[in-house]
Structure formats: structure tokens, C-alpha cells
């Protein structure tokens, strides 16, 4: 069984996941979410923010991201351009301080959801540096001397694709949840959100073919939930009935995104 976070971003969640979100919010600990691509890790943060009536700030992590980037950034390039072309008040450094996701959440008058997306893309030291900043709940902008003190502790949701191991010290201080890939029952509910008028026979045939495809050995990238939704959309646009899927895989490129996977499946059909 599953329930959903209602709002613009409808999210079908298991009761266990809803309880984990509640625990992280109550204990004021970061919630670390892992799972296959397409299991809704990122969408979860949007749905939680809407369900709790909180603003959301997203911080997409890159390989060059530092923990301080989440606090603030001193835009020296903009200040240099303004000094060259005579625009702006270049002597007021505060005009060139850009608060990051955590800085915005600290200064927000209301509790904020902060999505730290794909943390495992960053340097190995990033997770522990991040927790240090969260423990302090305050920071000083060195260029101006202004101290930013958090009004409330934000609700931190961190996603990981398990591309690299995270430090044990970081893991100990997070609430962890692994999102299992949806089973057929849950997948029906997800598909119905996107295609509410889908013919029942077409639904069942699509699910049968989709899960068969995911079970094929040797696939470099198994199709995800979002690709299933897109595939059904392509079938509907083409007006194809369930019978068209019995011995064929129309629009297979919507499901498989690796050439090697397409070639491997072609040999098995």
C-alpha cells in the first residue's frame, strides 16, 4: 500500500517513507535518500515542501562544489564588470554577496526545505564539511564581517545515486532511506497520476513488457519510472493498442538509452 503527498507535485510514497520524513523533520537531522535513477528522490523534496507548506531551495551538487558554496558566494566577476562599465555601487561589497542554498534557508523567516541533490558527485571531503556547517547553523561573510545566524534549522533532504561511498561519520549523522524500485502495484498508481484515462488492458500490457525488459541480463541502463511514463505517452500519441506490444517493442528508444542495450535486445527478439 502507498499514500501520496498532495500538491502540484503529486508523489506516491510508501508509509515507511512518510514515517522516515516525519522522523527526520522531528529530530532535525538530514534525510539521506538513495535509490535508482527515476525512483523519485528529487521529486520527494518538492512534494514534502508542498505538503508541509515550506519554501524549497535546491542545491545541485557538482564535482567542484564546496560546502561554502552553500553558504554564500562573492561575485567578483560582476563587481569587476561593474567597475569597468560604471554600473552598480562597486564600493558596497554587500551588493555582490550571493547567498547559497543554506544561506537562504538560514535567513528565511520560515523553516525551509533544502534539497542537496546528488551529493556523491562532490569531492570526498564535501559531506563532512557540509555537516560542520549544519552543526554551526551560523557563518560569517568574511568580505563584510556580517554574521548570518539561522532563525530555524532547515529540513535537509540529500539525494545520492551511490556513485561513491560516503564517509561513515556523515552516514551516522543522517536519517537514511533507500527507495526500492516500485513494484507493479505501486507503479500502477504512479502511471495513473500521469495517464489517468489509460486503458486498463494497455496499462497491464505495458507493465508486463516493462518489467520483462528490466529483468533482461546485461543491460547497462535499465529503464526507469520516468521512461515508462514517457513510453506510454508515446504509445498513446501513436494510437497503438495493447495488441501492438505482444510481439514488438514500439519506440524502444524511449525506454533504452544505450546503443549496446538496443543491440543486445534486438538479438533476443
- Annotate 128-187 with DSSP letters as a single string: HHHHHHHHH-EEEETTTTEEEE-SS--EEEEEE--SSPPPHHHHHTSEEEEEPPPPHHHH
187-216 as b/e, with b when 16 or more CB fall inside 10 Å?
Answer: bbebbeeebeebeeebbebbbebbeebeee
Each residue's pLDDT tens digit, 69-97? 999 998 888 888 877 877 667 778 888 89
Each residue's pLDDT tens digit, 101-157? 999 999 999 999 999 999 989 888 899 899 888 889 999 999 899 999 999 999 999
Least confident range of 4-8, 116-120, 234-238: 4-8
| Cβ atoms within 10 Å, residue 109 | 8
User: How far apart are the C-alpha atoms of 183 and 204, rounded to whole Å?
Assistant: 13
Q: pLDDT band for position 14 (50/70/90)?
A: confident
Question: What is the pLDDT averaged over residues 204-228?
Answer: 93
What local confidence, expressed as pLDDT, does residue 78 receive?
A: 83
User: How far apart are the C-alpha atoms of 175 and 40, rounded to whole Å?
Assistant: 17
Amino acid at each position: 500500500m502507498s499514500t501520496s503527498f498532495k500538491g502540484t507535485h503529486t508523489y506516491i510514497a510508501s508509509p515507511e517513507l512518510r514515517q522516515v520524513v516525519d522522523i527526520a523533520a522531528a529530530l532535525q537531522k538530514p534525510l539521506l535518500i538513495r535509490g535508482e535513477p527515476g525512483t523519485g528522490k528529487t521529486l520527494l523534496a518538492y512534494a514534502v515542501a508542498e505538503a508541509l507548506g515550506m519554501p524549497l531551495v535546491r542545491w545541485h551538487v557538482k564535482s567542484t562544489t564546496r560546502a561554502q558554496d552553500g553558504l554564500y558566494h562573492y561575485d567578483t566577476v560582476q563587481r569587476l564588470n561593474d567597475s569597468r562599465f560604471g554600473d552598480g555601487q562597486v564600493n558596497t561589497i554587500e551588493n555582490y554577496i550571493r547567498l547559497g542554498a543554506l544561506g537562504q534557508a538560514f535567513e528565511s523567516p520560515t523553516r525551509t526545505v533544502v534539497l542537496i541533490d546528488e551529493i556523491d558527485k562532490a569531492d570526498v571531503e564535501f559531506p563532512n564539511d557540509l555537516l560542520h556547517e549544519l552543526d554551526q547553523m551560523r557563518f560569517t561573510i568574511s568580505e563584510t564581517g556580517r554574521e548570518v545566524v539561522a532563525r530555524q534549522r532547515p529540513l535537509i533532504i540529500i539525494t545520492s545515486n551511490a556513485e561513491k561511498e560516503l564517509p561513515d561519520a556523515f552516514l551516522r549523522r543522517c536519517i537514511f532511506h533507500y527507495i526500492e524500485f516500485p513494484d507493479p502495484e505501486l507503479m500502477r498508481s504512479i502511471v495513473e497520476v500521469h495517464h489517468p484515462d489509460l486503458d486498463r488492458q494497455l496499462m497491464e500490457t505495458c507493465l508486463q513488457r516493462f518489467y520483462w525488459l528490466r529483468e533482461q541480463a546485461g543491460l547497462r541502463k535499465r529503464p526507469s519510472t520516468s521512461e515508462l511514463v514517457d513510453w506510454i505517452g508515446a504509445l498513446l500519441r501513436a494510437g497503438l493498442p495493447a495488441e501492438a506490444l505482444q510481439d514488438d517493442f514500439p519506440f524502444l528508444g524511449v525506454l533504452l538509452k544505450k546503443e549496446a542495450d538496443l543491440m543486445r535486445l534486438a538479438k533476443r527478439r
